[in-house]
Amino acid sequence: MSTPKRIYLCLAHMSGEEQKFIKEAFDTNWVVPLGPNVNGFEADLETFIGEQKSVVALSAGTAAVHLALIACGVGPGDEVICQSFTFCASANPITYLGATPIFIDSERDTWNISPRLLEQAIVDRVAKTGRKPKAIIPVYLYGMPAKLDQIMEIANKYDIPVIEDAAEGFGSMYNGRMCGTYGKYGVLSFNGNKMITTSGGGALICPDAEAKNNIMFYATQAREAYPYYQHEQIGYNYRMSNICAGIGRGQMTVAAEHIAHHKHIHRLYSEMFADIEGIELHTNPDERYDSNFWLNTIILDEKLRIKGEEDAYRQSVGGAVGGVGSTTHAAATPHTDCEPHRNVEALRIALDKAGIEARPLWKPMHKQPVFASAPAYVDGTSEWLFKRGLCLPSGPCVTDEDVAYIVSTIRDNIIR
């Protein structure tokens, strides 16, 4: 079996409706960070999440995290609890505000923040500092909902606001309720590789219209009501443009279709990996969880042998994962103190040679050099997963034939 194209991890797919909304923006000269498309996209999102919430469309999911932290009163010297097993955008905005991230390890079922370690960290931080953390940021890794019942119970017990990072969890549900609507704020991302895209961009789910207006104040440079520019607080240029929002409105017409396709791809992987010993596909722990399976992920048994393991890490890679269109520093050495096992790297290389993009799981934040001094409450779960896991192509452009080719390529590279 062969394929003439390269199969990417997760690329956006256009609906055909985007051009209509973009043309309307140009025809009416609304080529600014406000306008009918922005308002319409926010309304579409509010309808989609199905709760009495208000949504602000922003320039990025990272901006949404930043503004949510501001709304929760985070400032210099404060501490914010953050899931360690995530992309850096969950944690970086904490440092923008002069606060300190407190990293919490994951649990094995969902790969998300451990409720046991979460409560342990809260109790310990109060004992050590005399103050509670100002917010809790759970993440829905690869679309999988966290143990929200337990997390919200703990947050309510200590009266700490929750900012749900649902950047990867657009359309995922827990107990029949949309992820991003449980906490005080919910973060969405519309980057080019997400479930729907605005080319770049994000949104913040707010508890009500008053909270939305407060977020919009900071997102539009914090201007006071004078006939000239009066600034009494620091603001940001974080509003989504009317052009990008037009793309989003078109994408909303196929959002349900995209989610259904990702779930279909997961079912195919599940069927095709069933008889391959040494590979475990991550799936919903039970009926409460309804992941969008933004990315399908596998765990390789440490004993599983892959062709080419002897050459894994022999040389540094030429760029960085996700480094397309950005600047990355050259690696000084092929190794770091925490990296995937050789069989995982060998399989990634084999898939790449076959025209298939695959990536390691997120490297835990508590193992990132930039956060070396941040407190962490860990039990080894996220490191265990990072060393054994791989992300597979899952997007709307991935076909049934592609999945068969991917699994066949994996099977062919296993040494029996």
pLDDT tens sequence across 172-197: 999 999 999 999 999 999 999 999 99
Q: Which domain holds residue 398?
A: 256-415
- H/E segment holding residue 49: helix 36-49
pLDDT at residue 3 is higher than 70: no
Residue 159 has a pLDDT of: 98
pLDDT tens sequence across 340-395: 999 999 999 999 999 999 999 999 999 999 999 999 999 999 999 999 999 999 99
Residues 171 and 191 in one domain: yes
Read off the CATH number of the domain in which 119 is found.
Answer: 3.40.640.10
pLDDT tens sequence across 17-52: 888 888 887 888 777 677 899 999 999 999 999 999
Read off the CATH number of the domain in which 286 is found.
Answer: 3.90.1150.10
Cα(323)–Cα(308) distance, integer angstroms: 25
pLDDT tens sequence across 133-169: 999 999 999 999 999 999 999 999 999 999 999 999 9
Residue 331 has a pLDDT of: 78
Residue 29 has a pLDDT of: 79
Residues 307 and 249 in one domain: no
Residues 167 and 309 in one domain: no
Residues 45 and 141 in one domain: yes
Q: Which of 254, 284, 300 is the endpoint of a domain?
A: 254
Q: Which residues contact 192 (CB under 8 A, 6 or more apart)?
A: 11, 12, 199, 200
Residues 89 and 207 in one domain: yes
Q: Which of 201, 226, 254 is the endpoint of a domain?
A: 254
Query: Looking at the chain, how many residues does it have?
Result: 416
Q: Is residue 213 part of a domain?
A: yes
Number of domains in the chain: 2
Cα(336)–Cα(359) distance, integer angstroms: 16
- Phi, psi for residue 107 in degrees, rounded to 5: -110, 160
Residues 249 and 275 in one domain: no
Residues 263 and 351 in one domain: yes
pLDDT at residue 1 is higher than 60: no
Q: Is residue 6 part of a domain?
A: no
Q: Is residue 4 part of a domain?
A: no
Q: Is residue 10 part of a domain?
A: no
pLDDT tens sequence across 258-314: 999 999 999 999 999 999 999 999 999 999 999 999 999 999 999 999 999 999 998
pTM exceeding 0.85: yes
